[in-house]
Structure 1
Amino acid sequence: MTFNKKLNRYDADDLEKKSIYKSNSNFLNGELIEGIFFNAADGMVIFDESGRILEVNPSFCTSVHRNRHDLIGLTLEKLVPFEMHFKLDMQAKILKEKNSVRGVLPILVKDSLSYFEFTTSTLQKDTLFLSIFRDITEKRKLEQKVRKNEELYKDLFAEALDGIIFWTEKGKIVNANESACKIFESSYDDLVSKNINDYIYSKDDKFKKMYKNLFECGAIRDELVFLMPNGQKKSLEFTTKLHAVEGYHLTILRNVSDTRRMEKELRESELKFRKVFEGAIEGIIILNNDFKIVDINQAGEKLLKNLKKDLVGHSFTEILREFQLSDDEIQLYSTDLIRKGKATGTVEVTLRSDETKFIEFAAKHNVFSEFSLITFKDITEKLEMDVKLRKSDTLHVIGELAAGIAHEIRNPMTALKGFIQLLEDNIEEDYSMYFNIITSELQRIDSIINEFLILAKPQAVKFIERDITQIMEETVKFLSAQAVLHNVQFQTYYEKDLPPIYCEQNQMKKVFINLIKNAIEVMPKGGFVTITMNSASDERIHISIQDEGCGIPKDKINKLGQPFYTTKERGTGLGLMVTYKIVEEHAGTIEVESELGVGTNFHIYLPLRKKERK
């Protein structure tokens, strides 16, 4: 065998390289060895005790992508990364002890790292060594991939939290993970001996439809009730894919029984809360931490005369401003709510209908999940009833007091009247003025006593149909002389053909006299008293008596009709109190409008039909 021809096959043009080869020919003896070396599929390297490369075959050159002349003279350390040099040291140590060594060595090939399986043997004791290299880079990558797939299989199947089963076309379970065994409360052997259909609790229309859909679509996600071997029923959420792995069908299951039970309890609890919330008599508002309305019940909508859709999501503070609460009030209650965790009070609000109401409320901060709760109710009627009750109690006390006083005063009054009449003819003309004053004052005392008696005992009155226009005309005619004395004129506007009402004529006349006399007396410089009568829309007669006096402050209007409350210097307040009492007995109402410097208008509303007193 011509050695030079072998050399020329991969390095022919370099004569110097030929001489190097000839100098190393002493360790390649014979054509057989030479042929094996140069034709071997595995890479071969001959190196000395220092690790310097003396010869390489073509396979090794091809494996490491280098020319032979670049490799010869290099040390093995130049081919191996620095951090792996310890492997070369270990190789050298083992070679001294056993004359051979096997292992895996990383070698730098271009800019990447390749792995070679090697076997190193001693050619000459401690001087020459032969290493046979086989590139196992792809094999190593495949092993890593297999190991990665095994880890993936372990994560996705064996140790998965969800149950996973594989089953055949006929439903027979062929494999299952540990989670599936726990879900079905069976051992692995028991589970794989069963058919998946054995666990279906009810093969109803829903199941049949779902089963058909599965084989039409190839995959499905749904939920069914499964029957466990111990008779327990479980709701399982599952995903099934046909022919997922090696022709087997894959089903992934999750036990959602506890979740469904909790959802059911939550729905029932929410339903109870909603029924209580919506059925509550008091208004309820739920606010978030930004003081925006989250919800309001039906009672709250009705009370505030606003729909839920117009309130939810809006700032509660802005809505309070719309109800004409002052910023100071809003700040006071919101500060209490945040600092103390609660706030209570009563506020006067003006609704969009310009209706004024008194609202009593109680608020609590962070009742649940950072939400605050406000309960509120309309106490306007309650306050009015309290006022009426107090007035009634006062009237009762005054009535008892008045009955006693009237009885005690009337006896001496009778005597005084008698003696005055006896003395009338004997009084000299010079003293006639005193006689007139005494007589006038006695009549005034008698009038006060009569008013006391009206308050003191129920009046036996008989309600009959009367023409209210005629009663008013008679009253105006009766008071005309007094009006002229005070430079007051009457303006009357009576609607034609007003229907008659059920009333007691004398009491109605007393009401009109009291109100018109008050109107005359509050205009010492004269003016007009305007009297209007017309039909209201709700089967009532509307009577208006308006003066041009100084007016009444708003804070005093509500006190009108209370015992002994009057705006006149010598008044007792009994006349207006009697007026209110008579109108009330006729099932009517009195409303007062007044503006300072402009005048006062008393509105009387009387029903057309007779109403039974409650």
Structure 2
Amino acid sequence: MEKQLLIENRNHLLTKLLWIFYMIHTIVYVVIDQQVDYISPFAGLLFLFPITFLSYKKKHPFLTMYATIIVYYGYITYLLVLEPLLVNLIFLLLGIILTIVYQQAKAIVVSSLLSLSLFIYFFTTQFDRLRSDLTRQDLIYFILFGLLAAILFLYYTKILNDLWTAVHLKAKKTEEELHSTQEYLQSFFTFNNDAIAVIDLEGKVITVNPAFERIYGWKKDEIIGMSIPFVPSHLKKGAYERFKKVCEGEQIIGFETQDLCKDGRTIEVEITISPIYDSKGNVIALSEISRDITEKKATDELLRQADKLSLAGEMAAGVAHEIRNPLTSLNGFIQLIHEDSEKYHSYTNVMLSELNRLNAIIGEFLMLAKPQSMYFAPHSFHDILREVILLFETECTLKNVVIGLNLPADSCILLCDNNQLKQVFINLLKNAIEAMPQGGSIHIDAAKKDDQHMEILIRDTGSGIPPSILEHIQRPFFTTKESGTGLGLVVTQKIICRHQGDILISSEQNQGTTVTLTLPLYTEKSVHA
């Protein structure tokens, strides 16, 4: 469309030039030669009107272009037949100069062939006449032709100059825009907080950004050329399937998976994989943007646990309220029967024992049902642990369980509620002893994690917990014990949470279970906080 518009404009220009040429020729023909011949001007009009009509009609611009060229040479041929003068041959060359305005190779070739053919024909057939008829007037025509050619060349030079200027400005603007785009993309690549890796179609890393180095641990020079080493071996099949889809032009957005760091750590990531195309629309590489969501998922898990605790508290409140009143009545009547009739002691003893167990369960319910008053104060970790171990001394002896301690030399002071924290260690040691019915050992290791926290590891040598059960053990009312309530670990977790600590349980079958506690130490900052 733009090309047609350009030809239309040049048709207008050439039509105007031909009209100027026609008027100059007619004036010179009448004034200088002093010849009054109405046929030649009229013939010129017959040639000019059709191309003028086509030019301003603006239809078929290319057809108009060739028609203009043919009309011009037709008029020059008419002049040469009418007056075979040497000066008229010059106008054959003028046709080539005029055709250059179009800047069309085919038009210039057509004009050149017509000009050359006519020049050879008239020069060979009219050679004697052309040489003998050379006059001063012809010299004037040569001068006028030279001036006209100079004007045309100057005009064409101006067109070329404007064209080159426009091309230069456009190229400069394009270069600036490209530079700006490159700067933007480079800035996005370099300063993005998410890890970005560019991978070729063979699955080898081409480049990575600084965030990738920070998150995964590999330096750019180390990982270039490697075959996606950050994908764990058990997830490589799925990764290659996604890779194949993206190579076919698909895009994967917000896919959650696991990646492997250089130090062997596994992190939770959210990845977006997009194809990179060349100028022809072919996929030449892939870009992968990875966002580390390990902390986010841990936070989500804590929120889920908090929701579970809240739900358990609501359920416990309802259950405790419904059971406590009839339980009190039952306990009173059974006490009367127990005191009045000795022959039923075997039954009443069992009944009173079960009622006591129900009371203990309700007590655990109430710990979840309403917030317990907690009194935070500095307490010695050694003293708390020593008192708890003393409670289990007899039971450990009977069940052939040995408790080993590895504690810091200096007494670590915790900022805690003494009784609540004792309850935590009682629940954990009780679970450890029950996990070793044939005997075993419990190792308690404690050390300062940093200036504000202490880390405590409680490891047993029991049978361990299967993975299918391990993921559910902190769920309210979930238990594998016949007489368990499924609330012990829930209560423990709630107490640790209120102490602003952490609890982590890991286990392997036939290897035992390890519980890791992180608790705040007593410091001046913690008191002011």
Tell me if both proteins adopt one fold, taking TM over 0.5 as the criterion.
yes
| More RCO (CA 8 Å, sep 6+) | 2
Q: Residues 179 and 296 from structure 1, CA distance in 2 versus in 1: closer, same or farther, beyond 3 angstroms?
A: farther
Q: 2:299 corresponds to which residue?
A: 385
Q: What's the CA shift for 1:410?
A: 1.0
C-alpha contact (below 8 Å) 2:230/2:260 kept by paired residues: no
Q: Residues 184 and 414 from structure 1, CA distance in 2 versus in 1: closer, same or farther, beyond 3 angstroms?
A: farther
Q: 1:328 corresponds to which residue?
A: 237
- For residues 151 and 480 of structure 2, the distance between their equivalents in structure 1, rounded to whole angstroms, comes to 94
The one of 197, 202, 211 equivalent to 1:299 is 211
Q: What's the CA shift for 1:367?
A: 4.6
The one of 435, 444, 453 equivalent to 1:540 is 453
1:519 aligns with 2:432: yes
Larger Rg: 1
C-alpha contact (below 8 Å) 1:324/1:349 kept by paired residues: no
Q: Give per-residue Cα distances to partners, 1:30-76, cap 9 Å, x unaligned.
A: xxxxxxxxxxxxxxxxxxxxxxxxxxxxxxxxxxxxxxxxxxxxxxx
- For residues 454 and 416 of structure 1, the distance between their equivalents in structure 2, rounded to whole angstroms, comes to 23
Structure with more strand by fraction: 1
Q: What's the CA shift for 1:368?
A: 5.1
The one of 503, 516, 525 equivalent to 1:603 is 516
Q: Residues 183 and 544 from structure 1, CA distance in 2 versus in 1: closer, same or farther, beyond 3 angstroms?
A: farther
The one of 256, 260, 279 equivalent to 1:346 is 256
CA RMSD of aligned residues (A): 3.3
Secondary structure in 1 aligned to 2:203?
coil
C-alpha contact (below 8 Å) 1:591/1:603 kept by paired residues: yes
Instruction: Structure 2: state its 5+ residue gaps.
Output: 1-102, 104-149
Q: 1:450 corresponds to which residue?
A: 363
Name the TM-score, length of structure 2 as normaliser: 0.64
Secondary structure in 1 aligned to 2:458?
strand
Q: What's the CA shift for 1:179?
A: 13
Q: 2:348 corresponds to which residue?
A: 435
Secondary structure in 1 aligned to 2:483?
coil
1:359 aligns with 2:269: yes
Q: What's the CA shift for 1:363?
A: 1.3
Q: What's the CA shift for 1:575?
A: 0.2
- For residues 264 and 584 of structure 1, the distance between their equivalents in structure 2, rounded to whole angstroms, comes to 57
Q: What's the CA shift for 1:178?
A: 12
- For residues 182 and 325 of structure 1, the distance between their equivalents in structure 2, rounded to whole angstroms, comes to 74
- For residues 204 and 444 of structure 2, the distance between their equivalents in structure 1, rounded to whole angstroms, comes to 51
Q: Residues 371 and 418 from structure 1, CA distance in 2 versus in 1: closer, same or farther, beyond 3 angstroms?
A: same
The one of 306, 309, 313 equivalent to 2:221 is 309
- For residues 152 and 507 of structure 2, the distance between their equivalents in structure 1, rounded to whole angstroms, comes to 84
What are the residue-to-residue correspondences of 1:105-124 with 2, within 5 Å? none
Name the stretch that deviates more: 526-535 or 542-551: 526-535
Give aligned-pair identity as a percent.
Answer: 32
Q: Residues 259 and 588 from structure 1, CA distance in 2 versus in 1: closer, same or farther, beyond 3 angstroms?
A: same
What are the residue-to-residue correspondences of 1:477-488 with 2, within 5 Å? 477-488=390-401
- For residues 612 and 403 of structure 1, the distance between their equivalents in structure 2, rounded to whole angstroms, comes to 33
Amino acid at match of 2:369: A
Secondary structure in 2 aligned to 1:294?
strand
Amino acid at match of 1:373: S
Q: 1:80 corresponds to which residue?
A: none
- For residues 180 and 325 of structure 1, the distance between their equivalents in structure 2, rounded to whole angstroms, comes to 75
Secondary structure in 2 aligned to 1:306?
coil
Q: 1:185 corresponds to which residue?
A: 158
Q: Residues 278 and 269 from structure 1, CA distance in 2 versus in 1: closer, same or farther, beyond 3 angstroms?
A: same
- For residues 309 and 612 of structure 1, the distance between their equivalents in structure 2, rounded to whole angstroms, comes to 48
Q: Give per-residue Cα distances to partners, 1:193-228, cap 9 Å, x unaligned.
A: xxxxxxxxxxxxxxxxxxxxxxxxxxxxxxxxxxx9
Q: 2:423 corresponds to which residue?
A: 510
C-alpha contact (below 8 Å) 1:498/1:534 kept by paired residues: no
- For residues 186 and 336 of structure 1, the distance between their equivalents in structure 2, rounded to whole angstroms, comes to 52
What are the residue-to-residue correspondences of 1:144-293 with 2, within 5 Å? 185=158, 256-293=168-205
1:371 aligns with 2:281: no
- For residues 183 and 527 of structure 1, the distance between their equivalents in structure 2, rounded to whole angstroms, comes to 103
Secondary structure in 1 aligned to 2:229?
helix
C-alpha contact (below 8 Å) 1:532/1:545 kept by paired residues: yes
Secondary structure in 2 aligned to 1:261?
helix
Amino acid at match of 1:413: L
Name the TM-score, length of structure 1 as normaliser: 0.55
Amino acid at match of 1:355: R
Q: Residues 287 and 527 from structure 1, CA distance in 2 versus in 1: closer, same or farther, beyond 3 angstroms?
A: closer
C-alpha contact (below 8 Å) 2:203/2:228 kept by paired residues: no
